[in-house]
Structure 1
């Protein structure tokens, strides 16, 4: 590097520079040459010396800014360290478990902090609530089963600054850009460094598999699609085809190898600064929306909605982590965990093994919340098993809406714990289930409630969407997930789940809003309410901001409903006195109060309508890795187990956290409510299957009802017999859908061969028909399965296995003491269900 270049920088910053700084100056000045050539009018008319001077000055300004940013981040890190250390030291739990409470939701209402997990969800759903037009426009038609490419293309055009003529698309693009910019600023306020790039339209997605398989085509296409104005040389001239090809060759190598070409041999690759996430060069620029659309169609791996919401999800998670743990959250967590572990072992060295086990569990918890478990080791394998699990959802959960009535017991118990009017919750639930009352559902979503079920709704049922690898299996997985989502919506399950979640949330928002009108501070609340809210992380500062915000009735759903929208509407001048009082900024007060409000309400709503979280995932998956054979086989074996595990973990933990006899009272209330409603679910399912109700005078029935109420209704069958009514053994059913399918395949192959050798009828064709039926999406829909069985499947199975229907009747009579109100093989019911059978008549 020439001496005059170094001197220009020294003169600009007013000090000498180190050899390490000198080493990076030439590349930095070259980058600024290019940036100024692109943005500065008349750049090419300037002399070479003037261009050098301007580039050096720009580089020097950047170095100065980076030094200030580094100093600021150091201060934020120190503050975060002290904040976390003080929390851990003041916690009544062990230091290691206290860190776990800081990271993930704990159901006992005694953490004294809103977890990173809950913050991330709240930030995400606040963002979603501000882009509902976008979601409506891009999520597809016919219960989201069919995509709407024209609407998606219109939104992409608007995001690229092109006029589409579609009003909804224009509003959708504005919503996304506003939300993305708001989150960018909030992230930067906590130490992030995402610059504002005027040419950035939206996130990109390139399939690693597709680019790896078609690298030359990807390079050639991107040379054609590139926005030449964004690729310039130092003198302002545009890059040639050869230069562009070199640039995109390097980009293709990075995408195809997952960035391995940027890893220095022998250098540790983990633990990057969380605050730098999103600041990487967004250097692929398309000349227009059509070029971007072609690129996504040919090389992308996500649809438009997944692409945009994925960007929001990542930003929300990074904001929650940096606001809690500082700019380098990974390092902060490791440091605090090492300190906690050392403290505990020093105090109790005899239990080192047990302490290390707890450390390992909380470490897994952090990785889950931080999104470090999202990237599969082998994408195609993960996609293949995702497809299988989505098919299981589509074919096996068509009648789960009946079981979902057991949520009402949890709603009642959780409402009582939070001192909410139970009947008001049920009334709002009915209001939200009214097909003609879309205004109430829209109001709930604008309040940030139930949006996950509106978008997808698969996470509760073991078919999480974690993206697509983009190969053939990716397309299959995407289609299977859409079919699964369609079945859940068609069954009414999503509507019921969302209504329960939203009803609880709206009543809690109404109750909190009313309390803020009556009490000037948390200290004025009654002891029970104050302790509960403080246990969930609410502070006097949050309360003061809540009191400043207006309340409303939101389509008649309450009188004093307080939402994040009213809090975010507060101006800096509204909050300046409080900011001085609590030694913070108006923006920090506003963001924190809005996040806390929705976060605590969502946490309780997901107790009322149980949804698995990070703790349940960690307990269930035991550290197995996505995209590996052990990881995918285990996830398939435990599919549908996450909900019952969450039910037990959350409510059992809360029961044990109650004082004195409250433990037994809480447990008894949950068990009684869930058992009664489980019994109702059993009877409704029997009737929907064409059978009379079961005899409720028998103890076995109530054992099954108990299990049904905990979402373990399948295993209730074994209280009566050694196999389910679907024909699977106990071991196969305990092993989940995968074990059941393996058992079925063995019956159709090896088992059939052994029977044939013994001269017995293997019933192979009938078993094949039953297997196909068990994997047919929608065949188990509660309002259609009896008709489908009697009009189609019974005749087919009787044809391939004569006597099949009589054996079905005999088994129901022998093992369940039941008769059929719609006899197998009959195209129409012979009578109405015998309700007296439920009473043993």
Structure 2
């Protein structure tokens, strides 16, 4: 063995350690066995062996280099994180570390350039770019991709791309064109992960991230699954010869099956050198080689259709989102984020100890749990501990509740308008003009093709299929069919159009505003503009680089987008690096360009999520409290907090921005600051109340009621309070105090305990009535109707109630409509403008 080591060190293994060369020898033996089984001639076999050994030696040498790079990145990211927190957050170390994970509203350098913000902006960039490129081909390509009607030929085309062992693709030209666009964005995501610290090979025959539906596997059983997958696999590549050492293929597949039904992904494994290192756990996890290799694209398609979780589209989007999350994690915390987080926390605690800050140490120790909860939200470990089956059931139940309760949300969403305007006011652009401009752009819909290209470069794309709309109300992954059903529901309700249109308006307005300021030096920008850009790490020098690029034009307007960095000459970036004392290597120039684009893209995407309010990882860390899905505490908390993420986000993001984002050292101190915090908050509250009244009145008109007559001080007070609650200005308690339902469509129990527990309470009441022989009454009918997904779509419910619903209530409880009219007139001082069909009034 020692002689072999010496020989290899002089050849392909120069610079490798003895352990690394020993690993190489084991791979050589395995390669020889495979070649021997192929029945090649001796001369051909030896030539092939030499070629394979040379390739493996070069690959292992690269692995060793990437392992050293991972160590360097780990140390660099740790040092930067500690320095950032201690330099910018003395006395508020918890806030500093939290800002790295989920962002902070405090107006300080880099406080919004968090892991969470970078993840969402990268996801939008990948998905938006993919959809925009497909749409640019022609309308048919995007439609085919969304419908999934061409998944099989697209899978075959993907398998054939850059795969010398694949037969020539024979199929529709559209399938190959779609596959080429998909591969472009897969390669972009792979490159970004590698730049951040991973080492992911371009794998011949790669299609998309494999998906396995544990419930389908469990129903089929191992034997049926094994018999179905075995003919589809390339057994020579699968598991890289795992059964050469006595393990049979069936034993191996049985182990794979057991792990798949439990939610583990054993069909991927780390490359050897990264696996043996304690550094680079995340880099190793994504730097993996697939173990289950399908024969071709058609085989993958057959398996995915029978045992996968969804269509090719859903598997692709899931893979791009995972890539974005991994890249963002490694960019902030290095190749092993969990280890670096612990190291950064300990280093800060040690610094507080050395400083003698005993109170600070105690505060920081108490912050460990919420910080850990935030890390779980951004690294995905929150969903690894519980039962996958229980988690899926919980998500489906909550999805059904959403479709049974949110059909009228588009009417309540008119209160998004003052929230939208308040974001632009905070950026120094005024309140009423941006509000009018936003409403103007909103009514024009989702924009022209040119505008969509601009939006895709910002990381924004107005398509419900990207998941943004569902995340706004649930923040949970769902099975493929349920995701499609929810998308259809939100489109039917009008909420998809509303949200997409307002996000489009926010993106275009922000991009155009920056283009108008492109010729201004840093000091000439408004203090609000400098403040918000600095929160994403953009200072005067970086602004000069950004504005040196060319703007983009669409519909007669100029827009400044992250793509402007593509036009910046390398010597401009090199000069910046030299000014910072760094050698301007090609790699550093590429990294700087990528970082500048990420900062600008994150600025756009994150601020849009404030303008059109979107719960973020910090919101979820508050509502989930670090509990895992699929566990009893985790599922109970998710049921209780359903529909509460939006109001929590209002308090945490919008109110937090108004109080802490204008220079105050904390949100609490913003109440006493003199930078206009209270005045702007009061304006936001009053405008939300006004638009809450508009939403409330629209709902009343749909119910056939005239607006409330305000003819007394008491009625004015009640109406004002109801409008404030409807507008979101007074938190999570909907207008159940003054009406029939909260903003999401539930009563007091549903508001406090969550809609699912509220429904269980109602069903229990029905059961008790049946058991005791009592009349079920209209309450039972209302509960049953509320269990039907889509029953409360505002246009359907309006027609149903006036044509059928009131008649049913009258049949169950004669005189119901007349008594309800008198009650409404007495309590709300309202009359009715419309009488239900066939009901005496």
Rounded to whole Å, the distance in 1 between the matches of 2:145 and 2:122 is: 29
Asked if the contact 2:407–2:793 (Cα under 8 Å) also holds between the matched residues in 1, the reply is: yes
Q: Call closer, same or farther: CA 1:509–1:626 in 2, change over 3 Å.
A: same
**1:716 Cα deviation after fit:** 4.6
1:68-120 superposed Cα distances (whole Å, 9 cap, x missing partner) = 22222222222212211221121135222211101112233335341111111
Rounded to whole Å, the distance in 1 between the matches of 2:345 and 2:466 is: 36
Other-structure match for 1:839: none
Three-state SS of the structure 1 residue aligned to 2:789 is: coil
Rounded to whole Å, the distance in 1 between the matches of 2:694 and 2:826 is: 22
Q: How many residues align?
A: 800
Asked if the contact 2:426–2:528 (Cα under 8 Å) also holds between the matched residues in 1, the reply is: no
Other-structure match for 2:121: 122
Q: Call closer, same or farther: CA 1:259–1:710 in 2, change over 3 Å.
A: closer
The one of 97, 101, 120 equivalent to 2:99 is 101
Other-structure match for 2:667: none
Other-structure match for 2:343: 335
Asked if the contact 2:13–2:57 (Cα under 8 Å) also holds between the matched residues in 1, the reply is: no
Q: Call closer, same or farther: CA 1:586–1:525 in 2, change over 3 Å.
A: same
The one of 679, 683, 706 equivalent to 2:693 is 679
Asked if the contact 1:398–1:780 (Cα under 8 Å) also holds between the matched residues in 2, the reply is: yes
Q: Structure 2: any 5+ residue segments left out of the alignment?
A: 161-167, 270-274, 664-672
Other-structure match for 2:370: 361
Asked if the contact 1:134–1:169 (Cα under 8 Å) also holds between the matched residues in 2, the reply is: no
Rounded to whole Å, the distance in 1 between the matches of 2:374 and 2:240 is: 47
Asked whether 1:546 is paired with 2:531, we answer: no
1:780-807 superposed Cα distances (whole Å, 9 cap, x missing partner) = 2223322110212222222233333233
Asked if the contact 1:765–1:801 (Cα under 8 Å) also holds between the matched residues in 2, the reply is: yes
Q: Which moved more, 1:418-427 or 1:589-598?
A: 418-427
The one of 286, 293, 306 equivalent to 2:314 is 306
1:683-728 superposed Cα distances (whole Å, 9 cap, x missing partner) = 1111112211123452011111111111779845344379879997
Other-structure match for 2:511: 509
Asked whether 1:431 is paired with 2:432, we answer: no
**1:618 Cα deviation after fit:** 0.7
1:730-783 superposed Cα distances (whole Å, 9 cap, x missing partner) = 3443222123212211221225555x5xxxxx4315333211221223322223
Q: Call closer, same or farther: CA 1:596–1:133 in 2, change over 3 Å.
A: closer
Three-state SS of the structure 2 residue aligned to 1:201 is: coil
Q: Which moved more, 1:448-457 or 1:651-660?
A: 448-457
1:236-283 superposed Cα distances (whole Å, 9 cap, x missing partner) = xx99999655654454344345559899xxx99999611123222213
Other-structure match for 1:834: none
Rounded to whole Å, the distance in 1 between the matches of 2:209 and 2:123 is: 16
Other-structure match for 1:532: 532
Q: Root-mean-square deviation (CA), in Å?
A: 3.9
Rounded to whole Å, the distance in 2 between the matches of 1:338 and 1:630 is: 29
Asked whether 1:795 is paired with 2:807, we answer: yes
Asked if the contact 1:708–1:716 (Cα under 8 Å) also holds between the matched residues in 2, the reply is: yes
Rounded to whole Å, the distance in 1 between the matches of 2:578 and 2:205 is: 38
1:346-369 superposed Cα distances (whole Å, 9 cap, x missing partner) = 644357654333121011111101
Rounded to whole Å, the distance in 1 between the matches of 2:127 and 2:569 is: 22
Q: Which moved more, 1:528-537 or 1:726-735?
A: 726-735
Q: Call closer, same or farther: CA 1:12–1:540 in 2, change over 3 Å.
A: farther
Asked if the contact 1:223–1:245 (Cα under 8 Å) also holds between the matched residues in 2, the reply is: no
1:491-540 superposed Cα distances (whole Å, 9 cap, x missing partner) = 22121122222212211111222222232xx3443444323321332134
**1:14 Cα deviation after fit:** 7.2
Other-structure match for 2:835: 823
Other-structure match for 2:408: 399
Rounded to whole Å, the distance in 2 between the matches of 1:268 and 1:750 is: 61
Other-structure match for 1:178: 184
Other-structure match for 1:157: 156
The one of 196, 199, 205 equivalent to 2:202 is 196
Other-structure match for 2:87: 90
1:12-42 superposed Cα distances (whole Å, 9 cap, x missing partner) = 367898775576444332355579899xx99
Q: TM-score, normalised by structure 1?
A: 0.85
Other-structure match for 1:112: 110
Three-state SS of the structure 2 residue aligned to 1:822 is: coil
Other-structure match for 2:390: 381
The one of 80, 104, 112 equivalent to 2:77 is 80
1:285-329 superposed Cα distances (whole Å, 9 cap, x missing partner) = 222222111101111123222210111111111111212222222
Asked whether 1:449 is paired with 2:460, we answer: yes
Other-structure match for 2:717: 699
Asked if the contact 1:794–1:824 (Cα under 8 Å) also holds between the matched residues in 2, the reply is: yes
**1:625 Cα deviation after fit:** 1.4
Taking the TM superposition and a 5 Å limit, the aligned residue runs for 1:753-772 are: 753=771, 756=773, 762-764=774-776, 766-772=778-784
Other-structure match for 1:275: 283
Q: Call closer, same or farther: CA 1:384–1:136 in 2, change over 3 Å.
A: farther
Q: Structure 1: any 5+ residue segments left out of the alignment?
A: 469-477, 757-761, 831-841
Three-state SS of the structure 2 residue aligned to 1:485 is: helix
Taking the TM superposition and a 5 Å limit, the aligned residue runs for 1:173-252 are: 173-212=179-218, 213-227=220-234, 230=237, 245=250, 248-252=253-257
Three-state SS of the structure 2 residue aligned to 1:784 is: helix
Asked if the contact 1:542–1:596 (Cα under 8 Å) also holds between the matched residues in 2, the reply is: no
Rounded to whole Å, the distance in 2 between the matches of 1:726 and 1:573 is: 55
Rounded to whole Å, the distance in 1 between the matches of 2:617 and 2:726 is: 24
Asked if the contact 1:703–1:716 (Cα under 8 Å) also holds between the matched residues in 2, the reply is: no
Asked if the contact 2:412–2:743 (Cα under 8 Å) also holds between the matched residues in 1, the reply is: no
Rounded to whole Å, the distance in 2 between the matches of 1:680 and 1:689 is: 14
Asked if the contact 2:197–2:335 (Cα under 8 Å) also holds between the matched residues in 1, the reply is: yes
Other-structure match for 2:417: 408
Q: Which moved more, 1:785-794 or 1:29-38?
A: 29-38
Three-state SS of the structure 1 residue aligned to 2:105 is: coil
1:533-573 superposed Cα distances (whole Å, 9 cap, x missing partner) = 213321345323312321123234x33x1112333455656
Other-structure match for 1:131: 130
Q: Which moved more, 1:335-344 or 1:406-415?
A: 335-344
Asked if the contact 1:538–1:596 (Cα under 8 Å) also holds between the matched residues in 2, the reply is: yes
Q: Which moved more, 1:253-262 or 1:295-304?
A: 253-262
1:585-643 superposed Cα distances (whole Å, 9 cap, x missing partner) = 22112211111112112222111111100111111111221012221122122111100
Q: Call closer, same or farther: CA 1:666–1:232 in 2, change over 3 Å.
A: closer
Rounded to whole Å, the distance in 2 between the matches of 1:295 and 1:32 is: 29
Rounded to whole Å, the distance in 1 between the matches of 2:232 and 2:741 is: 60
Rounded to whole Å, the distance in 1 between the matches of 2:177 and 2:569 is: 24
Asked if the contact 1:704–1:715 (Cα under 8 Å) also holds between the matched residues in 2, the reply is: no
Rounded to whole Å, the distance in 1 between the matches of 2:145 and 2:829 is: 44
Three-state SS of the structure 2 residue aligned to 1:281 is: strand
Q: Call closer, same or farther: CA 1:528–1:457 in 2, change over 3 Å.
A: closer
Three-state SS of the structure 2 residue aligned to 1:61 is: helix
Asked if the contact 1:8–1:56 (Cα under 8 Å) also holds between the matched residues in 2, the reply is: no
Asked whether 1:743 is paired with 2:745, we answer: no
Rounded to whole Å, the distance in 2 between the matches of 1:338 and 1:304 is: 44
Asked whether 1:812 is paired with 2:824, we answer: yes
Rounded to whole Å, the distance in 1 between the matches of 2:259 and 2:783 is: 44
Rounded to whole Å, the distance in 2 between the matches of 1:457 and 1:135 is: 19
Rounded to whole Å, the distance in 1 between the matches of 2:738 and 2:571 is: 68
Rounded to whole Å, the distance in 2 between the matches of 1:515 and 1:495 is: 30
